[in-house]
Each structure stands twice: as structure tokens, then as C-alpha cells.
């Protein structure tokens, strides 16, 4: 019987691969036989990650995801080497302190420059790589593009102003591209997103836990609002990414999948 979840030999391009979630996802798809194309700013970090993933064909692509000309250059170079990308996982993204309104601040304190950067990193940083690598994606072969949203998208997180807006834009873009690509390039080209709940990573550890490991007030609020009563753990994203990347989800496009222990479904009562 056909293995619907087969990733063996698939060409998978990943941005943000050296990040916390990216490292786990990259190692996982490598272990399932994918050929990897890792897109990032720091050649050193990418090579370091590559050295930790043996027995896998890995090509490093050095470009900032917000730099269209650098992306176009690496995409052109890559198209001299391969004919197609099968899966593109856009993980590069993140928050910026200036785009957060602290309790002692008001909207007047918003750093418009930081807001611009957060929108640029998350929104343009997803759209521009898709645009640059489109010639390797739109050949009619089965393609799965996986963007990265957040719990902040559908219900903006208190204080986290810029990031919430940027991830909401990712949800909208994901749906828009799903329709555009299916209509223009055929039903094999899919675009979906994962919306991770609260995973304890370096970016948010200080927000969610005290130095002694106890939960901060915000950490407590999140756990109280998560029916499963815990933060996301390393393996929690992998099954959803595997499913979206593979033919097992071949009739699925334009959806944003929460991986959140029920946070998104919980009304609080
Ligand atoms: N960690 C969480 O709890 C969580 C929850 C929801 C969504 N997310 C999203 O998941 C994704 C990965 O998060 P993470 O926790 O692994 O973050 P991380 O900061 O550990 O990793 C982010 C990655 O993006 C790369 N990156 C940043 N700016 C870049 C640029 N301009 N060009 C190229 N690469 C760039 C970084 O080098 C790094 O590899 C992000 O989009 C984040 O917003 C994370």
C-alpha cells in the first residue's frame, strides 16, 4: 500500500532552520529521507546545523528573507542545480521588543521602526522567499508550502501588538496564496500554515518562567487558558508538519492548523 506520509527524496527548503523550532523540524524531515535546502542569513550557523545532521544531502542558501535581490540570486543559482522544490517551510520570523506595548506604556510609545521591522520579517519574510523560489515551485508537481502563524494571529495577544498584526497577515496571505496558486498552477500546489501555541523557547522563556523555573503571571495565565494544561514540547509540531508536507494532506489547502493544546478553542469558561 502507498505510504501517504513518504518524505523520502523530497526537496525541502526551510527558512529559519537554525532557530529553536527550525532545528527540530529540520532534523526530523532529514531523518525521513528529505534533501534539505536551508535558507538563512548566517552561513556559519547554517554550516553548524548541517554538521549536526549526518547522512543527508544539505545545501546552504545564504540570504536574508527580507532581501528580495539576495533571495532572487540564490533562487537563480539553485535553479541551475535542481528542477523542483517539493516542500517549502517558512519558519523565519519573530517578535521585536519595540513593537510591544508594555503595561506602563500607551500606543503613543510604539516604536514605528520596530513595528515596520516586525511586519517586514514575518510578512515580507514569508512572501518574498515564496516569490523568489516560485519558478521551482510552480511546475505542476505536488508542492506544499507551510507558513508559520501563531496564536497571536486570530486573537491578538495583550501587549504584543506588532507581532500579532504580522501573524494575522500571515493567515490572510496563506489563504490568499492557496486560492491564487490552485487556480493559476493547478491543484497540486498547496499553501497552509501551522499556528504553534506556546512553546518554551529562548525567545519567550523569560516571559513565561522565572529564573527558578516557576511560572510567571503570564505563564500561569497561558497554562490556565490551555485545556491540556502545559506548554508545547519538542515533538508536538512534528506530526503536523509531516502531514502537511506529505501527500497525506493533498486535498488540504488554505488552512491554519493550531498546535496549541486547545488554547485557540478555549473561551475561558
Ligand atoms: N517558539 C514559539 O513558541 C512560537 C510560537 C508561535 C509561532 N512561532 C513562530 O515560529 C517561528 C520559529 O520560531 P522559533 O521559536 O524557532 O524562533 P527562533 O528565533 O529560535 O528562530 C527564528 C529563525 O529565523 C531566522 N531569522 C530571523 N530573521 C531572519 C531574516 N531576516 N532572514 C533569515 N532568517 C531569519 C533566525 O536566524 C532563526 O533561525 C517564527 O516564525 C515564530 O514567530 C514560535
Of 89, 93, 238, the residue with max ligand 1 atoms within 8 A of its CB, to mutate for a pocket test, comes to 93
Neighbours of 54 (CB within 10 A): 8
Catalytic residue set: 163
| Atom 2 (ligand 1) nearest CA | 199
Q: Which of 50, 4, 251, 14 is nearest to 129 (CA)?
A: 14
Distance between CA atoms of residues 246 and 230, nearest Å = 28
Q: Which of 196, 256, 198, 194 is nearest to 225 (CA)?
A: 198
Class of domain 11-265: alpha beta
Q: Which of 41, 161, 152, 163 is nearest to 95 (CA)?
A: 163
What percent of the chain is predicted at pLDDT more than 90? 93
pLDDT in tens, 165-184: 999 999 999 999 999 999 99
Query: In the structure grid, which three cell numbers stand for residue 169, read together?
Result: 497577515
Residue 97: predicted pLDDT: 87
Distance between CA atoms of residues 59 and 228, nearest Å = 38
| Atom 19 (ligand 1) nearest CA | 19
| Atom 13 (ligand 1) nearest CA | 21
Half-sphere exposure of 255 (CA within 13 A, CB side): 12
Q: Domain locations in the chain? A: 11-265
268 pLDDT above the threshold of 90: no
pLDDT in tens, 130-143: 999 999 999 999 99
18 pLDDT above the threshold of 90: yes
Q: Which of 239, 147, 137 is nearest to 188 (CA)?
A: 137
- Residue 149 burial by CB count (10 A; 0-12/13-18/19+): exposed, middle or buried? buried
Amino acid at each position: 500500500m502507498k505510504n501517504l506520509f513518504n518524505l523520502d527524496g523530497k526537496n525541502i527548503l526551510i527558512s529559519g532552520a537554525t532557530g529553536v523550532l527550525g532545528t527540530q523540524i529540520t532534523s526530523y524531515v532529514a531523518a525521513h529521507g528529505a534533501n534539505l535546502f536551508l535558507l538563512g542569513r548566517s552561513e556559519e550557523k547554517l554550516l553548524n546545523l548541517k554538521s549536526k545532521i549526518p547522512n543527508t544531502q544539505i545545501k546552504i542558501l545564504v540570504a536574508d528573507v527580507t532581501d528580495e535581490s539576495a533571495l532572487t540570486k540564490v533562487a537563480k543559482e539553485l535553479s541551475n542545480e535542481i528542477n523542483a522544490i517539493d516542500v517549502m517551510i517558512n519558519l523565519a520570523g519573530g517578535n521585536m521588543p519595540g513593537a510591544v506595548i508594555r503595561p506602563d506604556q500607551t500606543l503613543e510609545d510604539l516604536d514605528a521602526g520596530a513595528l515596520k521591522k516586525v511586519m517586514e520579517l514575518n510578512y515580507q519574510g514569508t512572501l518574498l522567499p515564496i516569490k523568489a523560489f516560485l519558478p521551482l515551485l510552480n511546475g505542476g508537481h505536488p508542492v506544499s508550502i507551510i507558513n508559520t502563524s501563531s496564536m497571536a494571529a486570530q486573537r491578538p495577544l495583550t501587549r504584543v501588538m506588532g507581532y500579532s498584526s504580522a501573524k494575522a497577515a500571515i493567515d490572510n496571505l496563506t489563504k490568499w496564496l492557496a486560492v491564487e496558486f490552485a487556480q493559476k498552477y493547478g491543484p497540486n500546489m498547496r499553501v497552509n500554515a501551522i499556528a504553534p501555541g506556546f512553546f518554551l523557547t529562548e525567545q519567550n522563556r523569560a516571559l513565561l518562567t522565572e529564573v527558578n523555573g516557576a511560572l510567571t503571571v503570564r505563564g500561569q495565565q497561558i497554562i490556565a487558558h490551555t485545556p491540556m494544561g502545559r506548554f508545547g514540547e519538542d515533538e508536538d509540531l512534528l506530526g503536523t508538519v509531516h502531514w502537511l508536507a506529505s501527500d497525506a494532506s493533498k486535498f488540504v489547502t488554505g488552512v491554519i492548523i493550531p498546535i496549541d493544546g486547545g488554547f485557540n478553542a478555549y473561551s475561558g469558561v
